[in-house]
Amino acid sequence: LGYLGAVISLVASILIASLYWSQVGTTARLVIVGGVAAVLLGAGFVVPVRLDDVGIRLRSVLWLVSTGAFAGFVGLLGADALNLAGKDVLRRTSSGVAAYAAGLWLVGRTLVQQFAVMVSLMLTAAALTNELGVSDELPGFAVWGVALIWLLLGWGGLLEPRRFVMVFGASGMFVGALTSIPTYAGIVLALATAVSVVATAVRFRDLPLLAVGAFGTL
């Protein structure tokens, strides 16, 4: 019921905002989006401890949506209030969200927050390398590198739960490889990633990792 109520409220809020969004100013937009992020953040903190695992899951979902709202706030701040270029907005947004998500992960230590940190770090790496302007495939390689580090941290037991962390990392590696695939280097990287992930999954009899490898290969 908690999830259903949250979804209904969120959809209703989006529909109402879409009717009047073009009529409100930048300050009002920042207040609305920032307020949503703050309310969801506070709601996560006040979830009763007595709910145990149910409360942990609900808190993690509330904080995940709060992270998305915070990303929207930073994006609006850069694009509408500060009139920054698109590359600057992406860099500031991804790095800001990475810090926000990392803080929530340190507090809650949930898998959902860990996933948000990994994705935001991947986007930050892509944004930073894109500003170098060296080659088109470099951002994809940066994403692949962050995902590989995440997978290795999970493999070594530094990040828990090990199996899901490895699945996250392998999925990120495929995303990075596929975004660079128009180039020859990207094709080689994608093929090497597919072979490595499938071989690792077979070697350790890891069915979820094998599913990622099979889907990525397809």
Q: Where are the alpha helices (DSSP H) in 156-183?
A: 162-179
Helix (H) or strand (E) holding 73: helix 52-76
For 152-210, write each residue's pLDDT tens digit.
999 999 999 998 999 999 999 999 999 988 888 889 999 999 999 999 999 989 999 99
**Is 90 exceeded by the pLDDT of residue 86?**
no
For 31-52, write each residue's pLDDT tens digit.
989 999 999 999 999 988 788 8
For 166-180, write each residue's pLDDT tens digit.
999 999 999 999 998
Shortest CA distance to 47 belongs to which of 62, 36, 35, 33?
Answer: 62
For 89-113, write each residue's pLDDT tens digit.
999 999 999 999 999 999 988 999 9
CA distance 117 to 182: 28
CA distance 79 to 86: 7
CA distance 62 to 46: 11
CA distance 32 to 63: 17
Helices then strands, counting H and E runs in the chain, come out as: 9, 0
CA distance 165 to 187: 25
